[in-house]
Amino acid sequence: MAYFRIIDKGEGLNRLFIGGVHGKEGLSTVKALEKIQSSDVGEGKLVIHNCDTSPYRSTLDPQYYESKVGREVLYLINHYHPQIYVEAHCYRTENYHKLTYPGRWDEKGVPPLIDLGEGVLIGSASPNIRTTLFTRNDVCITLEMPCNPSKDSLDVYLDVLRIMASSNNREEVEKRMRNKYPSQVERASQYAQEFFGNYPPF
């Protein structure tokens, strides 16, 4: 389900939230993205885009970015130059283990996602774009919730989205996330060091 909104609070950093980047995920992610209001946004700009339904292809596949929706994602990143980037996803509950188990390192070549509670998962954005389109200091996360989420899952998902929307710099993001999800951010830091080298947690 396509949805597009710009919330502009003047001078400040750029934020980009993109949902539904493959398959039918957008039918669930729009439920969260459309709840973000102007009052949730700090200084600067927030661009929200939820994609239409598209064929499923993993963002870990470099060819994803040659697809129609992949080119859409690249255009938005290159056009708005966000310092905070959130890729909003949902997953089928039977795939929870595949996304979170340690063997994801070997199977997919990336760290497992981290559970923040109520089945909401967080990790870095795809390495295909994290180190090529963003600076080390930019905040780049993948955020997952169960498709057709429960109210509790949606609340956790929205909590993270609102932290990203209202924070005005990386330091503020990290401080607020550490206060709310200390062990998860610590693990994210460990994964980032092991995978990207001298990189922050998101």
Length of the chain as a residue count: 202
> How much is the pTM?
0.96
Residue 180, pLDDT > 80, answer yes
Q: Say if residues 58 and 20 touch (Cβ distance below 8 Å).
A: no
- In the DSSP assignment, the letter for residue 169 is S
With both helix axes pointing from N to C terminus, report the angle between 170-180 and 182-196 in degrees, rounded to the nearest 10. Answer: 130
Choose from 11-20, 52-61, 102-111 the range with maximum mean pLDDT.
11-20
Q: Say if residues 107 and 52 touch (Cβ distance below 8 Å).
A: no
pLDDT score for 197: 87
pLDDT score for 190: 94
